[in-house]
Each structure stands twice: as C-alpha cells, then as structure tokens.
Amino acid sequence: MVKEIDTAETFNGLISSGKVIVDYHAQWCGPCKVIGPVFEAQSTKFPDINFVKVNVDNLGDISASAGVRAMPTFQTYKDGVKIGEVLGANQKALLDLIQQLADA
C-alpha cells in the first residue's frame, strides 16, 4: 500500500527508520501518471518496504530539501540514510532500485 505524505513531520518520521521508497510526483506530470501504477503495484510485492508519495506542488519544502529537480524522482532510504535515486519514468531502473532496497 502506498501512503501519500501530507506533512514534513510525517515524512521525516517515516524515512528515519526502516526501508522507504519515495515517489516525488506532480498531478500535472504525464510521466508520473504513466509510472505511478508500476510503483503502486510494487508496494504489494515488498511488504517490508514503505512506499510513499510526495506531491511536489503541495510539499515543496520536502522536495527541495531532498534535491528533487525532475519529476518523477524516486529516492530510497534505509534508516534515514538516502541510498539510491532514479530520475524519470524508467520502469526498469525503478524496479532495480526497489530490488536494491529490498536486498539492503
């Protein structure tokens, strides 16, 4: 299941422990809409990973502090430390990123 982040406090709490993958997206972003269902489908395959979404238009402070400069951007965190990133709607790269986090 994918959780939509609504506050910086929620975001910081989630990434501080465990394995987390973040989808930085925007409602108007075509590539985000294309890759979104792939991201959501993976959330059921990896129950030990927290899958979260951050709308960059609503939470610009989070995306800015994470260094997001393109949409979509996917970042992985383990116990609060960023360990990977994929820019763009590249399905193979996203699947590889998720698998790397699962194996971490």
Q: Which two tokens stand for residue 84?
A: 């990977």
Residue 40, pLDDT score:
96
Q: What is the pLDDT of residues 79-100, one digit of tens each?
A: 999 999 999 999 999 999 999 9
- pLDDT for 17 equals 86
Model pLDDT, residue 1: 87
Q: Delineate the domains of the chain, giving CATH numbers in brackets.
A: 2-103 (3.40.30.10)
pLDDT in the model for residue 60? 92
Could you tell me the pTM of the whole model? Answer: 0.95
3-class secondary structure per residue, the chain: CEEECCCHHHHHHHHCCCEEEEEEECCCCHHHHHHHHHHHHHHHHCCCEEEEEEECCCCHHHHHHCCCCCCCEEEEEECCEEEEEEECCCHHHHHHHHHHHHHC
Which residue out of 29, 52, 66, 101 is catalytically annotated?
A: 29
Region 59-75 average pLDDT: 94
Residue 51 among the catalytic residues: no
Active-site residue, 91 included: no
- Contact at 8 Å (CB) between 88 and 72? yes
Q: What is the pLDDT of residues 8-62, one digit of tens each?
A: 999 999 999 899 999 999 999 999 999 999 999 999 999 999 999 999 999 999 9
**Catalytic site residue from 15, 20, 22, 32:** 32
Structure tokens given for 51: 């899958």
